[in-house]
């Protein structure tokens, strides 16, 4: 399996959606709401000010926020794939 690497990331203002640009040039949007609601450590990200501070960490292997909150690039890519399947199906 190819490891996915993030080139850049930003939050869409007023949402819990990230726009991720991968190193291969592809750009995806992912709604992080269900992930944040299911994960106690990530619940702090319901704060839009904190959520908007997302950045690329670990040389593109993850995205993260202050407070040592992070989400792996491969897991993020899988979440995008699953959301796209729901839209298509």
| Adjacency order of strands within the sheet including 6-11 | 6-11, 17-22, 27-31
Q: Tokens 């592809």 sit at which residue?
A: 26
Question: Among the CATH numbers 3.30.2310.20, 3.30.465.10, 3.30.2020.10, 3.40.250.10, which is that of 6-88?
Answer: 3.30.2020.10
| pLDDT score, position 25 | 96
Q: Tell me the sheet residues that pair with 11.
A: 18
**Residue ranges of the domains in the chain?**
6-88
> pLDDT tens across 15-69, in order?
999 999 999 999 999 999 999 999 999 999 999 999 999 999 999 999 999 989 9
Tell me the pTM: 0.90
């Amino acid at each position: 399996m190819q490891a996915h690497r993030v080139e850049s990331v930003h939050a869409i203002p007023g949402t819990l959606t990230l726009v991720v640009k991968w190193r291969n040039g592809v750009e995806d949007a992912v709604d992080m709401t269900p992930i944040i609601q299911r994960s106690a450590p990530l619940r702090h990200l319901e704060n839009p000010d904190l959520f908007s501070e997302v950045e690329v960490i670990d040389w593109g292997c993850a995205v993260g926020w202050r407070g040592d909150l992070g989400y792996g690039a491969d897991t993020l890519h899988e979440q995008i794939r699953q959301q796209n399947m729901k839209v298509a199906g």
